[in-house]
Structure 1
Amino acid sequence: MTVSLHNERKTNPMNAPTPLHPALADLDGFSVEIDAARERADIILGRPPMNVISMPQRDQLRKVFEALDEDDRVRVIVLRAIGENFSSGGYIKGFLEASPEHVSRLAWNIAAPARCTKPVIVANRGYAFGVGFEISLACDFRIVSETCQYALPEQKLGQIPGSGGSARLQKMVGITRTKDIVMRSKRISGRQAYDWGVATECVPDAELEAATDRLVDELRGFSPIAQRTAKKLLNDTEDSTLAIAIELEGHCYSRLRQSDDFREGVEAFHAKRAPKFSGR
């Protein structure tokens, strides 16, 4: 059963109403749906046709990612949007209205998918500009349709990306391509993003939802503790030397060696059956 979390209240099995987590109430420009049967939560941008992201929305998105990270019903988080465009970017006037202190927190808010311990998938179609591109870059998996266009157009406003876009992109595609995209406000297609290693998968537009569903189900088949460990290890060693990365990998491997899930995985392998992981 899918539970939609907007401003309403959810009920427990005894039909006694329980209040939603404060982070999931009065959401600005997006909604949250939890499908407990599929261990999936969807964060859905809902301000079509362009799904412009407001200043308050950025902070709410961070809080929702943090809340879902603590929700035992959820194994995988999906970020997607209503309509033909993922997001054309942020509300431009909001930058002039926001305080310098508020603006300084933008990158922290948009990095929430990367800090989340659970796998985060983003489904991109149409425009994914500015903060729409930046929050997509902070996710673990980017499934794009052939209509997708990525861009960091801040140079046209006399500004630079401010929520981690240029930094994350440079790690993925190198300084030459990043300068071309950032300094010329150049768009790249979904297919090009896939060829460059920015996108995980590029599919026809009509297949975007099905491709996202397949990846959700695939990720649910793995051990939760192994997934959490792999994500943190890869994030933490992105800037490290090879020697340090190998050392940390060894420590993580050793800790997982003691887990129930590793024992279950080994026993299932030898018994030629599907493992039943518990996350411990």
Structure 2
Amino acid sequence: MTTLRHPAQHLLENLDGFRVEIDADKQRADIVLARPPFNIISMPERDQLRLVFEALDEDERVRVIVLRAEGEHFSSGGDIKGFLEATPEHVSKLAWNVAAPARCSKPVIAANRGYTFGVGFEISLACDFRLASVTTQYALPEQKLGQIPGSGGSARLQKMVGITRTKDVVMRSRRISGQQAYDWGLATEVVPDAELENATAGLVAELVGFSPIAQRTAKKLLNDTEDASLSASIELEGHCYSRLRSSDDFREGVEAFHGKRAPVFRGR
């Protein structure tokens, strides 16, 4: 029998600037940026982050993924010098790597505090939930370098907050606070800095309580219909609903509701 090996497997042997923690009891995996004080994200690190998200997506121990960082700053952005050293082919993959949280079928939470700039902001935008500390400052400062965001930042931001606010952030390299991000509908929640970990743990526990298959379906449906027409979105929603109708989890949910007990979902 032929043994298959991923050509990029070697990239996972020595993680550059971050680590992975798995708590099987809580069904939680943490990807922790760990290059203090500013947790700058290197070019090789982007490739590794993509592979880690893909690996965790296949890990049966994990239901929810948290992207967080050591210290008082989430990330001040990418390795500036690395952009000049990278090949055009590598640079062309930046957005694909950073979009890994969005492609992941499982819920992904970004826990942001302090500087969340450049690629740090972009990868947070690719997550499903952004929990912001009051210390958080979001920014896409590439204009100061004679560049534009290159990993999906301006595109994702515009979808979320509109063209006027996106031009204000991108074209002026303007910082916005965690509170303002929440007011704009960009952050899911804004909390005191000392409460960020508790808020993250609470959201993980809440998400784990839902049906895995229903959650995966909801995430994919919402992502797939973001650019679709209303009629096409409703049609696709109906097909997804119909498919879940025959799932064991839906039957369990209905029986638990009528039995006035907590459901036990198994993801099938």
TM-score by length of 1: 0.92
Q: Residue 197 of structure 1 is aligned with which of 176, 185, 188?
A: 185
Please, which runs of 5 or more residues in structure 2 have no aligned partner?
1-8
- Contact 1:110/1:138 (<8 A) preserved: yes
2:166 counterpart letter in structure 1: T
Cα distance, 1:25 vs structure 2:
2.5
Q: Tell me the residue number matched to 2:263.
A: 275
Q: Summarize the Cα distance change of 1:181–1:191 in structure 2 as closer, same or farther, 3 Å threshold.
A: same
Q: Tell me the residue number matched to 1:95.
A: 83
Q: Tell me the residue number matched to 2:3.
A: none
- Contact 1:24/1:32 (<8 A) preserved: no
- 1:47 is aligned to 2:35: yes
- 1:139 is aligned to 2:134: no
Separation of aligned partners in 2, 1:181 and 1:31: 31
2:154 counterpart letter in structure 1: S
Q: Tell me the residue number matched to 1:79.
A: 67
Show the 5 A alignment for 1:54-65.
54-65=42-53
Separation of aligned partners in 2, 1:265 and 1:24: 39
Separation of aligned partners in 1, 2:11 and 2:30: 15
Q: Tell me the residue number matched to 2:92.
A: 104
Separation of aligned partners in 1, 2:143 and 2:10: 37
Q: Tell me the residue number matched to 1:4.
A: none
Q: Tell me the residue number matched to 1:161.
A: 149
- 1:220 is aligned to 2:225: no
Separation of aligned partners in 2, 1:83 and 1:235: 31
SS at match of 2:201: helix
Separation of aligned partners in 2, 1:23 and 1:252: 36
Q: CA RMSD in A?
A: 0.8
Deviation string for 1:25-45 (max 9, x for gaps)?
Answer: 310000000000000000000
SS at match of 2:25: helix
Q: Tell me the residue number matched to 1:119.
A: 107
TM-score by length of 2: 0.96
Show the 5 A alignment for 1:189-268.
189-268=177-256
Separation of aligned partners in 2, 1:206 and 1:72: 31
1:232 counterpart letter in structure 2: K
Separation of aligned partners in 2, 1:85 and 1:210: 17
- Contact 1:23/1:67 (<8 A) preserved: no
Separation of aligned partners in 2, 1:94 and 1:275: 50
Separation of aligned partners in 2, 1:256 and 1:158: 49
Separation of aligned partners in 2, 1:124 and 1:157: 24
Separation of aligned partners in 1, 2:144 and 2:16: 27
Give the length in aligned residue pairs: 260
Fraction of identical pairs, as percent:
82
Separation of aligned partners in 1, 2:164 and 2:25: 45
